[in-house]
Amino acid sequence: MIFRAQRALSDIARGADSRPFCLVASLTHPHDPFTIHDDYWNRYEDAEIDPPRIRETPQPVDPHTKRLQHICDLHPGDVTEEQMMKAHHAYYGALSYVDNKVGVLLKTLDEAKLAEDTIVLFLSDHGEMLGERGLWYKMSFFEPASRVPLIVYAPGRFAARRVSAAVSHVDLLPTLVNLACGSAKDFGKEIAGQSLVPYLHGEGGVGGVWAEYLAEGAIAPMLMWRQGRWKFIHSPSDPDQLYDLKNDPDELNNLASHPETASLRTKLLAEISERWDLPRLHEEILRSQSRRQVVSSALVAGKLSAWDYQPPRDASREYIRAHLDIEDIEARARFPHVRPLKEPVA
């Protein structure tokens, strides 16, 4: 993927299309299985590897954690201390691998003379429990799984700063449109998310995140609200969870049933009722699962047809082809651009 991204940037730099571009370069690291080759493993000594902050599953165990341990078939004591630290070691190496590849792309942007006019966003789709609380992988709203990096890099446009407000992936669409158009755009209908451009200028914003989880381990829709110091997790099938992340960053003390947080919990439950029709959402999920089971059974019959998107590659437009303009091919093969001989010298 990095090679193809480098090639795309080179083609953009050498091409005649002056329109703004949007390029997505996706890496699978860091991800399970937790392994990395020696070049990156050896960047760290064993003593530099941090263990989980909370190694054991906190008691009492919340129902969703129990379900995750069941579906992953990983229970307290199944993973040894040595195995856990090796997984962390490989994860650190994978982070360095990603860091290296980001550097490769930034260098390519610079070499293609595109760096000054390109806004770079770096983000991840999910976190990793990595043994915290006796859990692995993602699939929960605890901080290690749901908190992800979001870096916007454009030093010519925005001063360096750290934003502590909680924002969401759904904010990316209005943010990108705002950046591309120079102002927030009227989409003609309400969309989720808000532009993060005010944060980039140091002006602040509304902040606050609502999220939903409808996948493995959930037997009913799970919702999460995160704003400032508070995180609230609600599912019709489970007891509510409310954490004060300022005083309890490891989410060990569930305050949902405490009298002093009753008004906040009542307010959030009322907002959930306004935002979601949970019984209807539950039925929609069951119907979706039924449809996808039908599609899955069809895809595995005969020749396997992958459902995922495959970026197109048109070989007829590559290399030297008789039907292509040879001067255009040669021009696109050189960077920086070479002035044509027929162009008059000033």
Average pLDDT (152-175) is: 92
pLDDT (mean) for 144-162: 94
- Write phi, then psi, for 160 (nearest 5 degrees): -65, 135
pLDDT value of residue 281 = 96
Q: What is the rounded (10 degree) CA torsion for 27, 30, 31, 37?
A: 100
Give the residue carrying structure tokens 């195995």. 83
What is the pLDDT confidence band of residue 214, given thresholds at 50, 70 and 90?
Answer: very high
Token pair, residue 138, equals 């993602």
The amino acid at residue 140 is S
Closest CA to 148 of 109, 185, 122: 122
Question: Which helix (H) or strand (E) element contains residue 266?
Answer: helix 262-275
The arithmetic mean of pLDDT across residues 304-331, rounded, is 75
User: Are residues 64 and 134 in contact, defined by beta-carbon separation less than 8 angstroms?
Assistant: no
Dihedral over Cα of 243, 245, 246, 247: its sign: positive
| Domains in the chain with CATH codes | 1-163 (3.40.720.10), 167-207 (no CATH), 208-307 (3.30.1120)
Question: Over 70: is that where the pLDDT of 228 sits?
Answer: yes
Rounded mean pLDDT of the chain?
90
Query: Nearest 5°: CA angle at 301, between 298 and 304?
Result: 95
Report pLDDT digits (tens) over 53-63: 999 999 999 99
Mean pLDDT, rounded, for 285-311: 85
Decide if 227 contacts 168 (C-beta within 8 A): no
The yes-or-no verdict on residue 133 having pLDDT over 70 is yes
126 has pLDDT over 80: yes
In this predicted structure, the answer to whether residue 343 has a pLDDT above a threshold of 70 is no
What are the residues whose beta carbons fall under 8 Å from the beta carbon of 161, sequence distance 6 or more?
202
Start-to-end CA span in the chain (Å):
42
Question: In this predicted model, what pLDDT tens digit does every residue of 249-287 receive, in sequence order?
Answer: 999 999 999 999 999 999 999 999 999 999 999 999 999
Say whether pLDDT at 322 is over 90: no
134-139-143 Cα angle (round to 5): 70
Give the model's pLDDT for residue 341: 52
Q: Which of 97, 95, 103, 102 is nearest to 49 (CA)?
A: 95
Q: Pick from 252, 216, 223, 228: which is nearest to 240 by CA?
A: 223
CB atoms within 10 A of CB 338: 11
Which pLDDT score is estimated for 345? 55
pLDDT surpasses 80 at 91: yes
Tell me what pLDDT residue 184 has: 66
pLDDT of residue 245: 96
| The length of the chain, given as a count of residues | 346
| pLDDT above 60: residue 346 | no
Residue 53, both tokens: 């902050």
Which letter, b or e, does each residue of 275-308 get, where b requires 16 or more Cβ atoms within 10 Å of its Cβ? eeebeebeeeeeeeeeeeeeeeeeeeeeeeeeee
Q: Which of 46-50, 114-118, 130-134, 204-208 has the lowest mean pLDDT?
A: 204-208
